[in-house]
């Protein structure tokens, strides 16, 4: 498949149309003049001019194409890797804006997820964001750049329904994994644990039944903290009082315990990434195929070289046959 790095430069090809038109007019005029002086060699002379016109036109065309930098895509290929499937479910509810961990819970969670992504050389990764409802942001993939892009853009505004529905995130993760497999699957839940929906036990049981190991990472402290909003104010309840939030460590620990995993906690002084990755790296791995696309091959030099060759031919070929007649003599 052919693409162009600077396709806008192909408009330069339109310039070749009036150039060719003018050249044809010139050849016609020259032929008439030549007939008057050298009737015998008129056709031969006209042939040389036409050949030179073709060469200079092709030189110009390949020059423009070269400047546009054609890209030759080799196409997709399958890469076989050995690893596991990981889905990260990240809480993006407004309570994650609390600043009891610096700079706030959500930013610390995003930093942690980015570190996890950077360490996934062979493991496939999927992303789920959740608040009052869970949303699949990225299906299982080895595309780390795309994953980090989604994580960097995570914020409460992406979730129209606020709240903290962990059960919905767990159920959605079951759908994201390969249901036919009963192992090689890890769900990492990152949350402050303020679950307003319930039904977590049933969802975790369903995840375990499908072979998913559930690890949890708690973000925040047990000190009640107000929730700052984008407008500079704080989130208020119906009575006009500040809404306070605190991490629910017991619930977060229980989720991991029932999910066959381990619970970790982020504070201002701790970063659990290395311990979490140790748990993941000790798991059995599976072989899987992933489609990737080869890098585009730039054809700039090839096109410019062809243009140069046609330009040389243009200058080598004489304007008339007098040169050949001299060689004969």
Q: How far, CA to CA in Å, does 112 sit from each of 93, 115, 117, 135, 262?
A: 17, 5, 9, 20, 16
Exposure of 302 in the CB half-sphere (CA atoms within 13 A):
7
Task: Kindly state the tokens that stand for 99.
Answer: 């600043």
Residue 294's pLDDT band, with cuts at 50, 70 and 90, is: low
The pLDDT mean for the chain works out to: 83
Best-predicted range by mean pLDDT (67-81, 186-200, 256-270, 280-294)? 256-270
Q: What is the mean pLDDT of residues 298-306?
A: 88
Say yes or no to pLDDT of 326 above 70.
no
What's the confidence (pLDDT) of residue 42? 47
Q: Tens of pLDDT along 70-94?
A: 877 666 666 677 889 999 999 999 9
CA angle 220, 250, 282 (to 5 degrees): 85
Q: How far, CA to CA in Å, does 96 sit from each of 118, 168, 190, 195, 298?
A: 23, 18, 10, 12, 46
Domain limits of the chain?
2-73+296-328, 78-291
Helix (H, G, I), strand (E, B) or coil at 120: coil
CA distance 163 to 171: 16
Structure pTM?
0.64
Task: Kindly state the tokens that stand for 294.
Answer: 């080869």
Residue 133's pLDDT band, with cuts at 50, 70 and 90, is: very high
Q: Tens of pLDDT along 142-159?
A: 888 899 999 999 999 888
Q: What is the CATH topology of the domain spanning 78-291?
A: Rossmann fold (3.40.50)
């Amino acid at each position: 498949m052919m693409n162009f790095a600077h396709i806008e430069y192909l408009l330069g090809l339109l310039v070749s149309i009036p150039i060719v038109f003018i050249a044809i007019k010139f050849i016609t005029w020259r032929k008439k003049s030549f007939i008057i002086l050298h009737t015998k060699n008129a056709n031969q002379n006209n042939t040389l001019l036409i050949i030179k016109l073709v060469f200079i036109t092709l030189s110009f065309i390949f020059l423009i194409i070269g400047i546009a930098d054609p890209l030759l895509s080799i196409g997709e290929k399958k890469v076989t890797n050995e690893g596991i499937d990981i889905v990260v479910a990240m809480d993006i509810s407004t309570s994650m804006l609390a600043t009891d961990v610096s700079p706030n819970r959500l930013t610390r969670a995003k930093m942690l997820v980015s570190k996890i992504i950077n360490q996934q050389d062979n493991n496939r990764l999927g992303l789920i964001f959740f608040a009052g409802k869970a949303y699949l942001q990225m299906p299982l993939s080895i595309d780390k750049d795309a994953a980090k892009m989604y994580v960097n853009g995570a914020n409460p505004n992406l979730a129209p329904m606020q709240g903290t529905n962990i059960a919905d995130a767990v159920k959605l993760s079951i759908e994201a994994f390969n249901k036919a497999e009963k192992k090689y699957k890890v769900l990492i839940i990152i949350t402050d644990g303020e679950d307003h929906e319930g039904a977590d036990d049933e969802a975790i049981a369903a995840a375990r039944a499908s072979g998913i190991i559930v690890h949890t990472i708690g973000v925040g402290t047990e000190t009640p903290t107000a929730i700052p909003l984008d407008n500079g104010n704080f989130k208020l309840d119906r009575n006009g009082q500040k809404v306070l939030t605190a991490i629910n460590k017991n619930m977060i620990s229980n989720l991991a315990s029932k999910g066959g995993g381990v619970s970790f906690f982020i504070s201002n002084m701790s970063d659990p990434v290395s311990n979490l990755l140790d748990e993941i790296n000790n798991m059995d791995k599976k072989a899987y195929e992933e489609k990737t696309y080869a890098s585009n091959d730039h054809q700039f030099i090839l096109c410019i070289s062809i243009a140069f060759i046609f330009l040389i031919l243009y200058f080598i070929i004489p304007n008339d046959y007098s040169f050949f007649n001299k060689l004969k003599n």
